[in-house]
Structure 1
Amino acid sequence: MDTDDRIARVDDVAELAAALDRLGVRRGRPVLALVGGAGGMSPAESERVRDLLRELLPALAARGAAVVDGGTDVGVMRVIGDLADGLPLVGVVAEGALGDTALEPHHVHVFVPGEAWGDESPWLAKAVSVLADGSPSVTLLVNGGDITYTDAAHSIEHGRPVVVLADTGRTADAIAAAAGGVSSDHRAVAIAGSGLTRVVTAEDFVAVVESALDPR
């Protein structure tokens, strides 16, 4: 594993714990996996997401929670980076896909093998489990494109609750529609049909995330 101050490179999932330790991110804490819109978010969608995530931050801070996401300086990752004053943020990045894409500067980053966006998805799901280390974790799905379906599927494979924030656009809304029985997208139907998935509104999502992150 090769590291510098804010980046750790890993080649095996067995190295994730040591990578997080070297980056100074305390394990054994509640963790929010944030998945969703990146470069495909419209300005209006981005502002709505910003307002919603701002509502969630006090609940995360009160629980000493960390956030794990894709770590680049676009979409929901940029929004949480802008908002999260002191909240631990961990970005999981497929190094070969990065190219000229900027890293979000408020995150520490774990670089994992992969040449295309989406290759990081199984690593991100595993990193959340390693960071939580027995503490509660939950995935919040906001907006999103094709890779967001993969992220949600990996969360479900790990037995992690997936909270889908409706009316934030694209993938989130497709899953919400599937939960209501009005979508034929097989990916949305599969995720909506999981017993771990819950579709929520802006009015109740903070309470649902809080409940998921509290000790059971």
Structure 2
Amino acid sequence: MKNCLKLTFDGGQTALAIRVAQQAELSDALEGIGLRGSRSVLIVVGGASNISEADFLRIQRLFTEVLAPIAESLGAYVVDGGTDAGVIQLMGKARTQIDAKFALIGVTPENKVALPNQEEPAADLTPLEPNHTHFVLVPGNNWGDESAWISGVATVLANNAPSVTILLNGGEITFEDAFSSVNVGRSVVVIAGSGRTADILANALRGQATDERAKKLAKSGKLQYIDLIDIEKGVENLGKIIKDLLDNQE
């Protein structure tokens, strides 16, 4: 396909990327880089550049002990924002750390990221995470423009298979990510104790909402949360919830 690129990162990792202009193109575009439904899909959304070191360390285990192993055991697709920061970086590193083979697809606004084979990218561009296997480059000049696309890619890849969104930490855009999943009927698992937006949403689910968006999302019936206060129990609970949603969701 003319909009297909092969990306080579400094560490030697390679990935396939595809440019798309509208959501109607997604099915053909994804097939063009070897991605076909129907397969379980795990979406990961949340904190990127502004995640604190303490929150980062607290949630790191969830990726290496739960998210990456479950994706590998199910042969699931994993879809996220594709940039080399925060929870997205953790997802990429976890895939490599456990030597997994599942497809990891980053969906990102092309005008906001630096492709690895660009000679002199603009200083304000964000690098792509090098452990991803595929990227979908979408239109947009602002972070958040990718939110509906992340959900759309997941819907196309899942087809009739189950999908679930995991929400950790996050800022303003993470609310948009959550609405993008809830609006298509996708379950969202919020990791309470991971900071910022995740904790606001968890408080809303406990009936302690102070944010109108959080109240609306909590009322959707599509959100649930696990708590990281006890990390051992949190790791165990997250694994059970994801397996249940991906095994039993219609």
TM-score by length of 2: 0.83
Q: Deviations over 1:101-135 (max 9, x none)?
A: 00011221101111100001111111100011110
Kindly state the Cα deviation for residue 178 of structure 1 after the two structures are TM-superposed.
Answer: 1.1
Matched with 2:30 is: 20
Corresponding position: 1:166 with 2:199: no
Corresponding position: 1:196 with 2:222: yes
Which of residues 44, 58, 81 in structure 2 aligns to 1:70? Answer: 81
Distance 1:210 1:91 in 2: 22
SS in 2 for 1:4: strand
User: Over aligned residues, Cα RMSD in angstroms?
Assistant: 1.3
Corresponding position: 1:93 with 2:119: no
Kindly state the Cα deviation for residue 62 of structure 1 after the two structures are TM-superposed.
Answer: 1.3
Q: Which runs of 5+ in 1 are unaligned?
A: none
Matched with 2:180 is: 154
Matched with 1:117 is: 143
Q: Deviations over 1:60-112 (max 9, x none)?
A: 21111111010000011100100113221101111123352000112211011
Task: Name the count of aligned residue pairs.
Answer: 216
Amino acid at match of 2:162: P
Q: Which runs of 5+ in 2 are unaligned?
A: 7-15, 114-123, 228-233
Corresponding position: 1:42 with 2:52: yes
Distance 1:191 1:137 in 2: 18
Corresponding position: 1:80 with 2:97: no
Matched with 2:129 is: 104
TM-score by length of 1: 0.95
